[in-house]
Amino acid sequence: MGEEPGNLPLLEFVLTSLWDRRQGGELLHEAYDHIGGMQGAIAKRADEIYDTLNRDQQAAVRRILLQLIRPGAGSEDTRRRAALKEIGKEAHQVLGELAQQRLLVTGRDESSGEETVEVAHEALIQHWKRLRDWLEEDRDFLMWRHRLQAACAEWQRTGHDSGALLRGAPLAEAERWVSERQGDLTDDERGFIGESVRSRNRKRGLLWMGAAAAVIVSAAIAIWQYTEVQRLQLERRPILPEMVEIPPGSFVMGSAEGETEAYAAERPPREITIEKPFKIGKFEVTFFEYDKFALATERRPPSDQGWGGGKRPVINLSWEDARDYAKWLSEQTGQRYRLPTEAEWEYAARAKTITRRYWSDDPARACNYANVFDRKNEAYLKSKYGITWEPHGCKDDFPETAPVGSFEPNDFMLHDMLGNVWEWVQDCWHDNYGGAPDDQTAWEEEGCDQRVIRGGSWFDLPRGVRSADRGRDPPDGRIGNIGFRLAQDVD
């Protein structure tokens, strides 16, 4: 069975299925093979139940299950506990059937008293092909909806503060999804978007009134216009990132065969030699730094999703945006900045350690070193390590980014190499390290469809963040848990 969370209820499901198919007092290999074995049993059962439903009920099953999954970005998809009120009343009959068949479980939130529902087994997400296909078809929508839910929760937490409403590009994106998928959103989500639209329209009305007033004050504007230009020029000056020089050395890149969390993309492990020293950012690039670039180049600043910018890592920017920022900073300072290669990034993250994480193999220590989302993993840590723990800095509700430097650094004094945000690196994506050249520059080709991201984010559980973990995203993609840090060559 292994030690993954959710295996005990999966074992219960398989044993119950075997018991239902017993002959006399015996559980048979034939029955075990028929139900699909340990990993296939729940998928086979899900297909059997789905095939008995009519077209409308099947559509409801799809809608319910996708509401109960938290999509990963370069990491595993995981189950999500939702309030029962999020599921439309018209789908409650189908929900009851899925619960009776032990594919879903219902409960009650201890703090709020609300009824809840969630997927009974992580194995259903990983092994039911039909559900995997739905996830891939709707991944863009689901990733956006997860960001919407976080923003909506913040708006409700702040007592419907207008400052937490959507605006700019995030609001335009929400309006597009509402026009396409209105039936898949809850009343709360539609209400949040609707209030954001009304707030924008009210501001536009004020802008029209302000335009008339602007005619009156135009003479006054001319008086201070010269000094304002000077101020903007000062504001547009770049902020130099704090860089750390990394010494040359060798390390084993990737994950060993025995690491149960590892993916095929991290194998086979191979020894890499970093022959020359290089510099890498002590912190991820922040909104405070990136906004200077946006102002100077007259481009739209990326959304901070209502969490606040400042010293938080900049998010919602593409690989191309990160590359352009490095070029601009190089031009402004006369120093050459770039994105790190994937090999440089992992070497810097490991800081000469050989454990899965630069603090240890123990995920229970993650919250001292990485901004991660831990509460849903507490039962796993208790069962594996025999501890109940409440570490400083871990999230207990809707996760979000943390200001850079909030957590302990690795031995190279680099902060947030794991957790907080995934980080763009230079390399094109390759499915694994098989046949990869020793010279990493051979993987820095232009024009590839996917670029590598490294390090995990606030969206990951403690056991999910590892020095070898790698993911991918299109170079023009923008998402709320991907940022970057810079690198430099040392002459």
Of 153, 186, 203, the one marking the end of a domain is 203
pLDDT at 208: 55
Backbone angles phi, psi at 489, to 5 degrees: -75, 150
267 vs 257: CA distance, rounded Å: 8
Q: What is the DSSP string of 341-357?
A: PHHHHHHHHHTT--SSS
Tell which wins on pLDDT, 206 or 162.
162
The answer, yes or no, to whether residue 157 has pLDDT greater than 90, is no
Q: Is residue 217 part of a domain?
A: no
Of 116, 137, 158, the one marking the end of a domain is 137
Helix (H) or strand (E) holding 82: strand 82-83
Looking at the structure, tell me whether residues 85 and 187 fall in a common domain. no
Q: How far is CA 161 from CA 85, 154, 234, in A?
A: 23, 9, 33
Q: Mean pLDDT across the chain, nearest whole number?
A: 82
70 vs 459: CA distance, rounded Å: 9
Residue 398's region, left for phi above 0, alpha for psi from -120 to 50, else beta, is: beta
Pair 402, 393: CB distance under 8 Å: yes
Q: Is residue 232 part of a domain?
A: no
Please give the residue range of the domain that contains residue 169.
Answer: 138-203
Count of helices and strands (H, E) across the chain: 15, 14
103 vs 110: CA distance, rounded Å: 22
Tell which wins on pLDDT, 296 or 205.
296
pLDDT at 293: 92
Looking at the structure, tell me whether residues 164 and 263 fall in a common domain. no
The answer, yes or no, to whether residue 108 has pLDDT greater than 70, is yes
Q: Is residue 233 part of a domain?
A: no
Looking at the structure, tell me whether residues 265 and 406 fall in a common domain. yes
Q: CA 158, 162, 163, 164 torsion: positive or negative? A: positive
Q: Where are the alpha helices (DSSP H) in 246-393?
A: 287-297, 319-333, 342-350, 366-369, 378-385
| pTM value > 0.95 | no
Non-local (6+) Cβ contacts of 175 within 8 A are 193, 197
pLDDT at 235: 58
Instruction: Please name every residue paired with 472 in a beta bridge, in sequence order, or none if there are none.
Output: 452
Q: What is the distance, to the nearest Å, from the Cα of residue 70 to the centroid of all Cα atoms in its chain?
A: 9
Backbone angles phi, psi at 115, to 5 degrees: -70, 140
Domain count of the fold of the chain: 3
Pair 77, 125: CB distance under 8 Å: yes
Looking at the structure, tell me whether residues 173 and 129 fall in a common domain. no
CATH of the domain at 9: 1.10.10
323-335 mean pLDDT: 94
The answer, yes or no, to whether residue 393 has pLDDT greater than 50, is no
Here the tokens at position 135 are: 């996830």
Q: Is residue 254 part of a domain?
A: yes
CATH of the domain at 285: 3.90.1580.10
Q: Is residue 146 part of a domain?
A: yes
Looking at the structure, tell me whether residues 18 and 111 fall in a common domain. yes
Q: How far is CA 198 from CA 204, 264, 305, in A?
A: 10, 48, 18
